[in-house]
Structure 1
Amino acid sequence: MLHLKDGLSLKSQLTVFSALVLHHTVVFLLLTHSCGGQSQVIGPSQPIVAIVGDEMILPCRLEPATDAVAMTLEWARPDLNPRFVHLWRDGRELLINKNPSYMGRTSLFIDKLKHGDISLKLSNVKLSDEGKYRCFIPSLGRESIVKIVVGAVSSPVIGITKNSSEVVLGCESKGWYPEPEVFWLDGEGNILSAGPTETVRGPDGLYTVSSRVTVEKTHTNRFTCRVQQQNINQTRETHIHVPDEFFMVPSSSAVYISIVLAVVFMCIVAVVFVVWRWRRNKIKTKKNHEDETEQREGEKKTKPSNNTELQVLMDGERDGEKPMAEREAMKDLVEGEGENKSKSKSNHIELQFDEEQIKRNQRMTEIQKMKKLKKEMGKLQEEREKKENEQKHAEEVVTRLMGQKKGLENQRERLQLQLEEVERQRDENERKIQSVDREITERERDKADLKIQKEAAEKDKDEDKKLLLEAKMGLDKRKAELEKELQKTEKTLESKEGEITKMIQRKSKAESQKEKINVKFEEIEKQRDDIKRKLESE
């Protein structure tokens, strides 16, 4: 009887054990099936290359395809603070803790979310966008890492110079990232031996490279400058054809002809100089001859008076009628008349000379005055050009400041819109927190619920409330940042308006000074024309 009782007990234990094993097996299979049916987050296995200024897509998808419209989706960069690049929740984008450098540059493909495509579109790529991005679905606990390599490229520019018998080609390319390599190729694609590449990195982080090579004449005279960057798999080329004339060396006959032409030119200059000196001497001799002729004519005019005197003396001697005293008086009279005539002629010549000297001095004075006016006009011209440049610079500065002002006004409007959006989300978040508090209170009052369900519900609500409180703190922080940035923008905008006013006043002052200079310039130009006409009439 005891043996039978022990057998029944053992059989009961085996039945319970089998039931437990079967239960655990079913649970394990259900869990395995559940895990096997859960979607995976799939991203690219290789880095993605993007070019500065372009648009790019960060691939990420769910496999098997699952509708992700109602899911929470996070695109983030762990190395940034805030780390969020794009946050999708409750069917829309949230700006909570979004990194400011990505504002307005990220978006999802809304029509593809229901097919499991959660790829991110990034516009206007910058150098700072390079890094690792995390595509994460919190409800699935799955993520994928997407790596981006950002590059910048530009086409090279070739210049050509000739040094004596050598032809040198120069190649320059600006705006590269990462640092590229430069190669020179001939018409057949062979690499040419060139000097070391010069590399300069600008304040924007972009590289400028330049290289020079000396080339010789070939049957094609075609050469290529190639700039490439292997990390981003980018290459840019520029071709040039050098004319045959650049490779021509000056011949000895050409040099001889040049020397002969130079000697002939110098001889012509010498002949012209000799002729000029000869004509000058001839004019001077002719003038001296005219002066001597005038002097002889004056002497001839005095001779008749002397002849008259002799005639009177001879008549007196023949007649013998006049006394000696009368003859002496007549002689003195004749000599006085000759001296007076000679002196009058000399005074007349001196007077003509003085008049010519006065005219010559007046002419020299007018010429000097004209030179002085010309010099003053040159100074006024320089001053006018300076004022024109100053006016042009002021206009350019005003235009630039107006553009900056417009950009600041757009930024202010954008910040105000973001601030309004944050306020709206903050109010909505506050309403959700109040709703959660009300539900928790109602559940505490509900005595009909099971204890375990009540604890689970309270735990879920506490979790939701915690998330909402964190979101509220993030919104408050974002609001403070936006208000600070808006205040800074307002201050900068006010400063720009002051600079614009100052530059407009400076421009008006330059225009006024320019007008005064133009009036003075016209007056001096009129004086110069009057002097010029006067000299031409003389």
Structure 2
Amino acid sequence: MTPLKDKHLLVLQLVVVVLLFLIQSCGGQHQMIGPTQPIVAMIGDDIILPCHLEPAVDAVDLTVDWSRTDLKPRSVYVRREGVELLTEQNPLYTGRTSLSVNKLQCGDISLKLSTVQLSDAGTYKCLVPKFNAETVVTLSVGSVSSPVIELTNVKNKMVLECKSNGWYPEPQMLWVDSEGKPSSFEPTKNVRGSDGLYSVSSKVTVEKGQSYSFTCKVQQKNISQIKEAHIHVSGDLFMVQSNTAVHITINLAICLISIGTIVILLWKCEQKKTMISEHEDELHQTEMGEKLQRECEEKKRLEDELGNNEEDLKHVQQTIKNLMEQKTFLKNQREKLITLLQEDKTEMKEIMKKLGTDKPLLDKDRKMHKRGDKKTALDKRTEVHEELLKMTEKLMEETENIVIQMTERKGKLEKDKEQIVKHLKEKQKNERDSEETVRETSEK
């Protein structure tokens, strides 16, 4: 029996040693938890660089160091014994970094970075020296803008040019048809400005024929951003161009006939009058003919200008329509985000209420831990919803500004059209008066 007792005693001692080791391991070591994927932010955004201590402890009075090894000085944010050390901070981040004291109490030492700049892209190290715990967070910075499609008539072809300014990193541009298939287009032009941002443009040519629908896509895969612009090219545009050419041909024919008539009248007058009279009449008739020709040429110019004005006006009206649709979509998205944030607040109140009213139970610590996890997850979700709401409101503001600009351009085009029509009527009246004068002179 003695060997059996010794064996049981040995097993019991081994279990005790293992338990002591586990208790020391769980209670004495802390690790830093950061994101596994790069954080993507747009220029001008306010973002959070996540960093948490596990297990969670109150870090309000601990030393916290955020840094970038590629900078001199390397410090992005330093906090010691509850005080920010601004003298050690890199000037690039002055007034743009902060930590939440409430979150520090729960071991959350995530860094808030305001008004993100292109130079903020890089790898950040989050460190708490007391526990020798650190992690890294990679930040990718991007910039996007909505593309704009411009139309230009070239003989019997329509040239569509897609432009988009203010991108980073360098994006790709492509054209697709109504079925989503890539279309052939001229090589994309990418130009980097002094601000470090890229401007891209590309052209596609449409032959005379049936209607076409095109989509211009600008995309940057590293920051998962895609912007599109749509346009429908109707065969009516070619009809307008063809009808204009017919009108011009008719007007030229009328001018030639009028000039021919004047020449015949001049010849008849020369046969009836004396040499002096003939010379005076010929001079007068020539002046009238030149005046009539100038009137015809001016009329032709005004008709061409009127046609171009109407095409520009149609394009602007279509652009305003597309922008209003985008504005409606953004408004709906904003309302959905506001609803989600309200739901987040309601759920947070319920969690906080349960955390504050729990009665002493054997499993209280377990329940408190689970609710704490729910609160942390809800905080993160709320931050995401708030960031999306800010982006949506910013896009709505930009869309509204473009609508205002396009509306102003529409008003200018309509005023220009009124002036062109007014001048064209005056030229038509002058042309009729000149023809009447020529007939009266020839009859004399």
Give the count of matched residue pairs. Answer: 264
Find the partner of 1:266 among 256, 259, 266.
259
> Which one-letter code corresponds to 1:260 in the other structure?
A
* Alignment partners' CA distance in 1, 2:163 and 2:267: 56
* Alignment partners' CA distance in 1, 2:146 and 2:268: 63
- Match of 1:101, SS state, is helix
Q: Which residue of 2 aligns with 1:63?
A: 54
**Contact 1:160 1:168 survives alignment (8 Å):** yes
Find the partner of 1:179 among 170, 179, 183.
170
**Contact 2:210 2:235 survives alignment (8 Å):** no
Q: Which residue of 1 aligns with 2:242?
A: 250
Find the partner of 1:156 among 147, 159, 168.
147
Listed as ranges, the matches of 1:244-323 within 5 Å are 244-248=235-239, 250=242, 257-268=250-261, 270=263, 281-282=276-277
Q: Which residue of 2 aligns with 1:92?
A: 83
> Which one-letter code corresponds to 2:26 in the other structure?
G
CA RMSD of aligned residues (A): 3.2
Find the partner of 1:208 among 199, 213, 216.
199
**Contact 1:52 1:150 survives alignment (8 Å):** yes
Listed as ranges, the matches of 1:390-469 within 5 Å are none
- In our comparison, the structure showing a higher alpha carbon Rg is 1
- Match of 2:149, SS state, is strand
Q: Which residue of 2 aligns with 1:33?
A: 23
* Alignment partners' CA distance in 1, 2:221 and 2:268: 76
CA distance 1:269–1:243, change in 2 (3 Å): farther
* Alignment partners' CA distance in 1, 2:102 and 2:141: 28
**Contact 2:121 2:139 survives alignment (8 Å):** yes
Q: Which residue of 1 aligns with 2:418?
A: none
> Which one-letter code corresponds to 1:193 in the other structure?
S
- Match of 1:82, SS state, is coil
CA distance 1:284–1:160, change in 2 (3 Å): closer
Instruction: Give the TM-score taking structure 1 as reference length.
Output: 0.45
Q: Unaligned 5+ residue runs, structure 2?
A: 1-12, 281-444
CA deviation profile, 1:490-533 (whole Å, cap 9, x unmatched): xxxxxxxxxxxxxxxxxxxxxxxxxxxxxxxxxxxxxxxxxxxx
Give how far 1:25 is off: 11
Give how far 1:120 is off: 0.6
CA deviation profile, 1:294-315 (whole Å, cap 9, x unmatched): xxxxxxxxxxxxxxxxxxxxxx
CA distance 1:282–1:90, change in 2 (3 Å): same
Find the partner of 2:36 among 42, 45, 56.
45
CA distance 1:273–1:29, change in 2 (3 Å): farther
**Contact 1:216 1:247 survives alignment (8 Å):** no
Matched, 1:123 2:130: no
* Alignment partners' CA distance in 2, 1:214 and 1:229: 25
Q: Which residue of 2 aligns with 1:132?
A: 123
CA distance 1:273–1:76, change in 2 (3 Å): farther
Give how far 1:284 is off: 9.3
Identity %: 48
* Alignment partners' CA distance in 2, 1:279 and 1:115: 115
Find the partner of 1:228 among 219, 222, 231.
219
Give how far 1:226 is off: 0.8
**Contact 2:211 2:235 survives alignment (8 Å):** no
CA deviation profile, 1:382-433 (whole Å, cap 9, x unmatched): xxxxxxxxxxxxxxxxxxxxxxxxxxxxxxxxxxxxxxxxxxxxxxxxxxxx
Give how far 1:181 is off: 0.6
Q: Unaligned 5+ residue runs, structure 1?
A: 1-21, 286-538
CA deviation profile, 1:346-375 (whole Å, cap 9, x unmatched): xxxxxxxxxxxxxxxxxxxxxxxxxxxxxx
Give how far 1:217 is off: 6.1
- Match of 2:131, SS state, is coil
Q: Which residue of 2 aligns with 1:75?
A: 66
- Match of 2:181, SS state, is coil
* Alignment partners' CA distance in 2, 1:274 and 1:218: 49
* Alignment partners' CA distance in 1, 2:209 and 2:70: 55
CA distance 1:253–1:225, change in 2 (3 Å): closer
Q: Which residue of 2 aligns with 1:167?
A: 158
Give how far 1:204 is off: 1.4
CA distance 1:206–1:256, change in 2 (3 Å): closer
Give how far 1:107 is off: 0.9
* Alignment partners' CA distance in 2, 1:28 and 1:276: 130
> Which one-letter code corresponds to 2:48 in the other structure?
I
Give how far 1:273 is off: 6.3
* Alignment partners' CA distance in 1, 2:164 and 2:258: 48
Give how far 1:276 is off: 9.3
* Alignment partners' CA distance in 2, 1:151 and 1:104: 21
**Contact 1:187 1:220 survives alignment (8 Å):** no
Give how far 1:35 is off: 3.3
Give how far 1:29 is off: 6.8
Find the partner of 1:198 among 180, 189, 192.
189
